Amino acid sequence: MSAEIEVDVPFHDLDGMNVVWHGHYYKYFEHARTAAVRSIGFDIEQMTASGYIWPVIESHCRYIESLRYGMRLLVRATLEDSEYRVKFSYLVSDQKTGKRLAKGYTVQAAVEAATGRLCLTTPPVFLEHLRRHGR
C-alpha cells in the first residue's frame, strides 16, 4: 500500500535560515501516511472507533537537500511492515526535477485505548482493511 501527495511548501514552514524547519518534514510524512491509510478505508475516525490508538514509537528522517518556500514536493508513503507494528517509509522529491530531497520512516504500534496496553501484533481490524483492498 502506498500513496503520494503533493505539498506546496508554505512560507510559515520556514525557519530563520529560510529553509523548511526539520520538524515539518514529519508533518509532510503524516499527511502522506494519512492518505495511504485512507486508501484502504481506514481513516482516523475508524482508527479511533476500533478501540486502538496508534502512536508513532520510532521515526527517522535523512535530510538530503533543504526544502525552500514555493517548492512543489511529492511525498510518497509506502507500507513496509504490518505484522507486529506498522512501518511506513517515505520519499520526498521535487515534483519538477524528480530529485530526492529527503527520506525516512515511522513505526507505529497499536495500543488498546481502554487499558493502555501495547499490542504485540497488529490488530485484526487493520489487517482486514489491508486484505479487503488487496494489499
Q: Quick one: cell of 135?
A: 494489499
Q: What is the pLDDT of residue 133?
A: 81
| Total domain count, the chain | 1
pLDDT tens per residue, range 49-67: 899 999 999 999 999 999 9
Q: What is the pLDDT of residue 135?
A: 63
90, 77 contact by CB (below 8 A): yes
Q: Residue 118 pairs with which residues in a beta bridge?
A: 111
pLDDT tens per residue, range 2-41: 999 999 999 999 999 999 999 999 999 999 999 999 998 8
Q: Across residues 127-131, what is the average pLDDT? A: 88
Distance between CA atoms of residues 40 and 30, nearest Å: 16
pLDDT tens per residue, range 67-94: 999 999 999 999 998 888 999 999 999 9
54, 109 contact by CB (below 8 A): yes
Q: Across residues 121-127, what is the average pLDDT? A: 90
Residue 74 maps to which CATH number? 3.10.129.10
Q: Write down the residue that cell numbers 526535477 correspond to.
A: 97
Task: Write b or e for each residue in 61-89: b if 16 or more Cβ atoms lie within 10 A of its Cβ, otherwise e.
Answer: beeeeebeeebebbbbbbbeebeebbbbb
